């Protein structure tokens, strides 16, 4: 059966959602391990997987003038997003942490306006505002210290949104997707390694195994989502990225006995609604 690029993109983004949902579950199961230590293991596995893929191409990978700048920006924003997301995973329910991270499509609109000079329509502006309102129901701002992890989780969405804006630019510049993942993973490992050395805590065999599994799941998710946005534009497939939230909620309930509260469910509904509205708006255009 021959699939269109859009269908391939949808399949890739659904696979990415599964990969990232499993990554979050494995990170939660790893327990009391420093955030930067978890981040290192999450990225070291994709280094070898993406590196093996590059080597298997059997051809020289070339960069055009200006590509390196966007690779560094993608890696910097992505690393910041991962660290914030992992901190949120350590302190919030699995579904809440991942929902805040999925504010990234809305932040991508803002960064596209700032960086790519793409105009924001009134409908997109309303969608962004609505997503922030939904996030407030999940964060539940009270001024109490317990809201701090939720704010960090939202910052993870900012980092991811900026990172995917850079992925879009790199895709337009026809930079190899495996190279994008490899560069990002190496960069993240280099950033987290000094903290790993300074704050290293011995891990059990089970914790090590779980963090390696998180790295494998992350590699699947990262390669799949990069491929997805290479296959099709975000306006056609980004709505399917929210399958990760459903999967995370199910995994959190089944394996961690976590059930989001009513305010969180209301926040999910608003953000889902804004995402679906954006999808149909972009389709009509």
Q: Which residue has the tokens 């420093």?
A: 34
At residue 266 the predicted structure's pLDDT band, cuts being 50, 70 and 90, is confident
Is there a contact between 281 and 123 (Cβ–Cβ < 8 Å)? Answer: yes
Task: Give me the pLDDT at residue 145, please.
Answer: 55
Is there a contact between 98 and 245 (Cβ–Cβ < 8 Å)? Answer: yes
Q: What is each CA distance from 44 to 90, 121, 191, 224, 230, in whole angstroms?
A: 20, 40, 12, 17, 24
Task: Give me the pLDDT at residue 144, please.
Answer: 59
Q: Kindly give, in sequence order, each residue whose CB lies less than 8 Å from that of residue 247, ignoring residues fewer than 6 positions away.
A: 17, 18, 21
Instruction: Tell me the Ramachandran region of residue 4: left when phi exceeds 0, alpha when psi lies from -120 to 50, beta otherwise.
Output: beta
Is there a contact between 254 and 83 (Cβ–Cβ < 8 Å)? Answer: no
Q: Distance of alpha carbon 1 from its chain centroid, rounded?
A: 30
Tokens coding 48: 């070898």
Judge whether residue 91 has pLDDT over 70: yes
pLDDT tens profile 193-231: 999 889 889 999 999 999 999 999 999 998 898 888 778
Between CA 285 and CA 281 the distance in angstroms is 6
**pTM metric for this prediction:** 0.80
Judge whether residue 102 has pLDDT over 90: no
Is there a contact between 164 and 180 (Cβ–Cβ < 8 Å)? Answer: no
- Across the chain, mean pLDDT equals 84
pLDDT tens profile 30-74: 988 898 999 998 899 989 888 888 877 665 677 888 899 999 999
Between CA 126 and CA 157 the distance in angstroms is 18
Task: Give me the pLDDT at residue 138, please.
Answer: 78
What's the DSSP call for residue 65?
A: T
Between CA 31 and CA 206 the distance in angstroms is 10
Is there a contact between 128 and 75 (Cβ–Cβ < 8 Å)? Answer: no
pLDDT tens profile 140-192: 766 555 688 888 998 999 998 899 888 878 888 888 888 888 999 999 999 99
Q: Is 148 helix (H, G, I), strand (E, B) or coil?
A: helix
Between CA 138 and CA 147 the distance in angstroms is 10
């Amino acid at each position: 059966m021959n699939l269109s690029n859009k269908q391939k993109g949808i399949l890739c983004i659904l696979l990415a959602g599964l990969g990232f949902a499993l990554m979050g579950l494995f990170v939660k199961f790893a327990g009391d391990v420093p955030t930067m230590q978890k981040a290192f293991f999450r990225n070291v596995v994709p280094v070898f997987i993406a590196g093996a893929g590059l080597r298997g191409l059997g051809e020289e990978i070339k960069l055009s003038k200006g590509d390196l700048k966007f690779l560094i920006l993608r890696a910097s924003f992505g690393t910041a997003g991962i660290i914030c997301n992992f901190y949120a995973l350590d302190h919030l329910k699995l579904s809440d942490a991942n929902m805040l991270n999925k504010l990234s499509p809305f932040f991508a609109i803002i960064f596209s306006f700032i960086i790519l000079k793409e105009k924001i329509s009134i409908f997109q502006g309303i969608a962004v505002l609505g997503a922030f309102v939904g996030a407030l129901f999940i964060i539940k701002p009270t001024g109490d210290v317990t809201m701090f992890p939720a704010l960090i989780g939202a910052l993870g969405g900012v980092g991811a949104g900026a990172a995917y804006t850079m992925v879009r630019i790199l895709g337009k510049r026809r930079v190899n997707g495996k190279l994008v993942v490899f560069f990002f993973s190496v960069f993240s490992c280099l950033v987290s390694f000094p903290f790993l050395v300074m704050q290293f805590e011995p891990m059990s065999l089970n914790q090590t195994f779980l963090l390696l599994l998180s790295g494998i799941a992350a590699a699947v998710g990262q390669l799949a989502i990069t491929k997805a946005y290479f296959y099709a534009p975000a306006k056609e497939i980004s709505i399917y990225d929210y399958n990760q939230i459903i999967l995370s909620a199910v995994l959190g309930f089944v394996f961690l006995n976590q059930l989001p509260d009513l305010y969180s469910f209301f926040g999910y509904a608003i953000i889902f609604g804004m995402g679906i509205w954006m999808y149909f708006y972009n389709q009509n255009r």
